[in-house]
Structure 1
Amino acid sequence: MRVVVVGATGHIGSYLVPRLVRAGHDVTAVSRGTREPYHPDPAWSRVERVVADRDAEGAAFGARVAALAPDAVVDLVSFDLTSTRVLVEALRPTGAFLAHCGTIWVHGPAAASPLREDDPREPFGEYGTRKAQIEEFLLAERELRCTVLHPGHISGPGWPVITPLGNLDPGVWRALSSGGELLVPGLGLETLHHVHADDVAQGFELALARPDAAAGQSFHVVSDRALTVRGFARAAAAWWGREANLRSVSWEQFRAAAGEHADASWEHLSRSHSASTDKARTLLGYSPGYTSLEAARSAVEAMGLLPAPGA
């Protein structure tokens, strides 16, 4: 197929584009042109590169993508309904297949575990709410075949990984690596569901290979199992040969200590997501290659905080 990837040089696209080339697709990579892919790969020499600024071009952006005559479009960087609608309206006459990148945050707080794609939704916050609106619009679309893939907390080299406390505070890794005390809000039994960016790319590759099975459906693309805060912290401390020194505190105490990172922790831990991959496995053949812990470790290694295996 002729595949157009929008947001092609980002974290997911850096893995997806080479996958699609190796699968035999004719790939056009659309990006703002502000950076190269996260990882070098010989496959990029066989990719057509198009520079386009989606936000600046507005309604004209959809027409530009449609003019590339795609059989399929992978949209990795739409974060509001208006932007998605522009693309859909432009693609309707082409008969292309549209695969959109969503998020497991469309679910809001988990009411059951593991989450299934058809569970009742109670999204909150701007990001999760907007992505839920986009999903509802795409799955109701009748003229254009669409699918939505919902990643968990995307991890892997080149991306700042969500820590066991549900934030991006590098002090968390310092405490775990040194045996320092780590304050944990509540009991630390909330769950975080990571996924390696290459496994997200795998999901999109499979959806393009099986458009009839994927069309009109949404899928979770996450690792096999989520991790609890305490389980993640203990396993991560072991990377440095340490035992996690954890102390439970109230959320009020945690906020006072965590400062600017407290809101991110609340955003992640209050949702406490653990998502099922059964649907993606059954309909698409999805099989994640990384556990949550492996995905997180690869990111920490790339951050220079942990020696790579054998180093």
Structure 2
Amino acid sequence: MHVFAIGASGILGSHLVPMLLRRGHDVTAMAPGDRLDRLPEEARRIRASLLDPVAGRLLATEFKDVDAVVNAATAVPPTAGSWALNTALRSTGTAVVTDALQEAGVRRFVQMSITMAYADGGDTPLTEAAPFDNRPERTTIVAPVQAMEATVRELPADEIAWSILRGGRFVGPATVQDQQRARLRAGRLPIPGDGRSWAAMVHARDYAEAVVGALERGCTGETLNIADEPVRVADYYRELARADGSPAPGQAPEETAEPSHRVSSEAARRLLDWAPVHGIWPVRGGER
């Protein structure tokens, strides 16, 4: 199968592209900038952004020679307050992709999404039917995800086997977990609130396995959560500190805790025969 991977230069692409190649697929990877050079030589590279004026025509032409497309284009900012690029990629960019899919007649499509958009569920397990967060203070994160998923669902399921994979927060090397570990070592990452909120995370390599499963099985019209077993925030920080031999984190009861996301991935386990194998914890002396 010839797979076209958009946004393949990030942490997901670093796992997904080699994985697809090892399984005998041909891969074309598209992303802006020079990070494409980190991918295996066997992958064909296209340096372009979904927001380029010519992106629609470029993709419609390129897609004529592919069997499946993965859209992992994202631009999550390192700090809050600079979400404009990410918003544009998820709204305008996704529409560019879906228009090109239909023009070229591509038969399989996987869209990357996130579980962060869910409303606070407390201790209740969150399935794919759980509502998104409609609070004004969460609009910057949630609205682009809603727009993106709505655009994908407009695709004709009898013509394109599309699926949306809502991933937990990526952990593993080169993810935000690196910064969390550094802050714990420095004693600068306290537990917010009472620490009882649930967090949904997934190793980037495990998420890549789910993408491959969705591509190869040709899931049609499915939206699936892709996350490891949820963990309470306090337990996560404490265990992460313990794994590195860092000081135990303190408490910051005055800080607002993030929404509680006790995400269930049972549907993905059933439909994709998927299960996380790399875990969310670092391994001393090497990558996991």
Deviation, 1:228, is 1.2
Structure 2: how far apart are the matches of 1:184 and 1:50?
42
* Aligned partner letter, 1:33: G
Residues 41-80 of structure 1 aligned to structure 2 (within 5 Å): 44-55=40-51, 57-58=52-53, 60-68=54-62, 69-77=65-73, 79-80=89-90
Structure 2: how far apart are the matches of 1:18 and 1:24?
10
* Aligned partner letter, 2:260: S
Deviation, 1:37, is 6.1
Structure 2: how far apart are the matches of 1:289 and 1:198?
9
Q: Provide structure 2 residue ranges, at least 5 long, that are not aligned to the other structure.
A: 75-88
Structure 1: how far apart are the matches of 2:265 and 2:178?
20
CA change 1:201–1:173 in 2 (3 A) is same
Aligned to 1:140: 154
Secondary structure of 2:277's partner? coil
1:23 paired to 2:23: yes
TM-score (normalizing by structure 2): 0.83
Deviation, 1:111, is 5.3
Structure 2: how far apart are the matches of 1:137 and 1:66?
17
Deviation, 1:216, is 0.9
Which of 221, 226, 249 aligns to 2:226? It is: 221
Q: Is the 8 A contact 1:88 1:144 kept in 2?
A: no
Q: Is the 8 A contact 2:4 2:28 kept in 1?
A: yes
Deviation, 1:102, is 0.5
1:171 paired to 2:183: yes
Secondary structure of 2:46's partner? strand
TM-score (normalizing by structure 1): 0.77
Structure 1: how far apart are the matches of 2:216 and 2:249?
46
Residues 298-309 of structure 1 aligned to structure 2 (within 5 Å): 308=285
Q: Deviations over 1:186-229 (max 9, x none)?
A: 22111222111111111110000111xx2211111111x12212
Deviation, 1:241, is 4.2
CA change 1:92–1:245 in 2 (3 A) is closer
Which of 270, 277, 280 aligns to 2:268? It is: 280
Deviation, 1:234, is 2.1
Deviation, 1:243, is 6.4
Deviation, 1:30, is 0.9
Runs of 4 or more above 6 Å deviation: none
Q: Is the 8 A contact 1:5 1:76 kept in 2?
A: yes
Structure 2: how far apart are the matches of 1:94 and 1:199?
30
Q: Which has the larger radius of gyration?
A: 1
CA change 1:209–1:244 in 2 (3 A) is same
* Aligned partner letter, 2:258: S
Structure 1: how far apart are the matches of 2:130 and 2:215?
25
CA change 1:140–1:11 in 2 (3 A) is same
Q: Provide structure 1 residue ranges, at least 5 long, that are not aligned to the other structure.
A: 177-181, 252-265, 299-306
Residues 33-44 of structure 1 aligned to structure 2 (within 5 Å): 33-36=33-36, 44=40
Q: Is the 8 A contact 1:62 1:88 kept in 2?
A: no
Aligned to 1:87: 97
1:157 paired to 2:173: yes
Aligned to 2:3: 3
CA change 1:92–1:173 in 2 (3 A) is same
Secondary structure of 1:15's partner? helix
Secondary structure of 1:244's partner? coil
Q: Is the 8 A contact 1:32 1:52 kept in 2?
A: yes
Deviation, 1:152, is 0.8
Q: Is the 8 A contact 2:193 2:251 kept in 1?
A: no
Aligned to 2:116: 105
Secondary structure of 2:131's partner? coil
* Aligned partner letter, 2:7: G
1:231 paired to 2:226: no
Secondary structure of 1:65's partner? helix
Deviation, 1:248, is 5.0
Q: Is the 8 A contact 1:10 1:37 kept in 2?
A: no
Aligned to 2:128: 117
CA change 1:27–1:240 in 2 (3 A) is closer
Structure 2: how far apart are the matches of 1:192 and 1:272?
6
Deviation, 1:112, is 5.5
1:206 paired to 2:223: no
Structure 2: how far apart are the matches of 1:234 and 1:202?
28
Aligned alpha-carbon RMSD (Å): 2.5
Secondary structure of 1:101's partner? strand
Aligned to 2:77: none
